[in-house]
């Protein structure tokens, strides 16, 4: 729009009649005579009305772009927080109504990252223990294959709760889950799959989710006995390079996890 307007201005500026008409219209709305606008004093320097309008339009576009960027990021964070709060409350109530486990299942390696609410087949389902498979670095190839099979078997037992969502939900592209932890697992899960479980007796896993967005980190903590989520926000140094920001995010995420474990 600005480019089109500017081209029109250049074309019309070449027309003497157009300039005289603009100056005449301006002089009619002021107390100054037209000649003062046309000739002015030898030392006077200024801008025409159209030049001022072009400048104001450019400034407006720049301000709008900056404001939209900041507002968009804030809106995405708020939407993300609200989605997980709603999912947590729904999962807790749904587990009681079904008399079966419900889980918030997260896929951390997807791009964008995904999450979905799923329900176990019935109240008789028993969740297997993953303790022996927690440290991937120390697992043999056979143990890794056993772990993958166990995860696949558990995933096959759960089905998406269509009453809550028709499709798998995605995390906004400018937000990333850095890690997930629960009291049922002894590790900070930063890749692969993670799950937070809700039980028919009204309890749920104590859980931590750590997120990062441009210039900011935030964490969501699920209490095992209440519906609410506790939220904490942390500002990052925006002057650092992208690599240094990533290092800072990973370091802060581990600090948040270690603090959560102690509490």
pLDDT in tens, 223-263: 998 877 899 999 888 777 777 888 899 999 999 999 999 98
**CATH class name, domain 76-262:** alpha beta
Contact 232, 218 (CB under 8 A): yes
pLDDT tens readout for residues 133-160: 777 778 888 888 888 898 899 999 999 9
- At residue 74, does pLDDT exceed 90? no
- Alpha carbon distance 95, 223 (integer Å): 16
pLDDT tens readout for residues 157-196: 999 999 999 899 999 999 999 999 999 888 999 999 999 9
- Is 181 in a helix, a strand, or coil? strand
Q: What is the pTM of this model?
A: 0.71
Contact 234, 218 (CB under 8 A): yes
Q: How many residues does the chain have?
A: 263
**What are the residue ranges of CATH 3.55.40.10 in the chain?**
76-262
Q: What is the pLDDT of residue 34?
A: 45
- At residue 209, does pLDDT exceed 60? yes
Write the CA distances from 116 to 133, 164, 194, integer angstroms.
Answer: 24, 9, 11
Q: What is the pLDDT of residue 45?
A: 57
Write the CA distances from 80 to 114, 170, 181, 195, 258, integer angstroms.
Answer: 12, 9, 18, 17, 24
- Alpha carbon distance 198, 101 (integer Å): 6
pLDDT tens readout for residues 123-135: 888 888 777 777 7
């Amino acid at each position: 729009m600005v480019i089109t307007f500017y081209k029109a201005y250049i074309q019309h500026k070449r027309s003497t009649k157009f300039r005289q008409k603009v100056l005449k219209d301006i002089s009619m709305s002021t107390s100054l005579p037209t000649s003062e606008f046309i000739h002015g004093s030898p030392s006077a320097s200024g801008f025409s009305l159209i030049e001022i309008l072009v400048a104001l339009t450019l400034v407006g576009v720049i301000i709008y772009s900056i404001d939209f960027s900041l507002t968009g990021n804030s809106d995405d964070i708020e939407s993300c927080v609200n989605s997980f709060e709603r999912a947590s409350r729904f999962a807790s109530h749904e587990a009681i109504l079904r008399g079966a486990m419900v889980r918030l299942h997260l896929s951390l390696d997807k791009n964008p990252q995904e999450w979905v609410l799923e329900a176990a087949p019935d109240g008789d389902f028993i969740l297997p223990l993953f303790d022996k498979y927690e440290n991937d670095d120390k697992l043999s190839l056979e143990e890794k294959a056993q772990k993958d099979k166990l995860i696949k078997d558990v995933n096959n037992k759960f089905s998406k709760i269509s009453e809550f969502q028709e499709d798998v939900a995605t995390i906004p592209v400018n937000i990333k889950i850095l890690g997930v932890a629960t009291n049922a697992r002894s590790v900070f899960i930063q890749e692969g799959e993670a799950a937070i479980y809700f039980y028919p007796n009204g309890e749920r896993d104590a859980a931590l989710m750590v997120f990062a967005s441009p210039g900011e980190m935030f964490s969501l903590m699920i209490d095992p006995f209440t519906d609410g989520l506790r939220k904490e926000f942390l500002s990052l140094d925006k002057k650092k390079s992208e690599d240094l920001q990533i290092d800072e995010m990973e370091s802060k995420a581990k600090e948040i996890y270690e603090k959560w474990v102690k509490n």
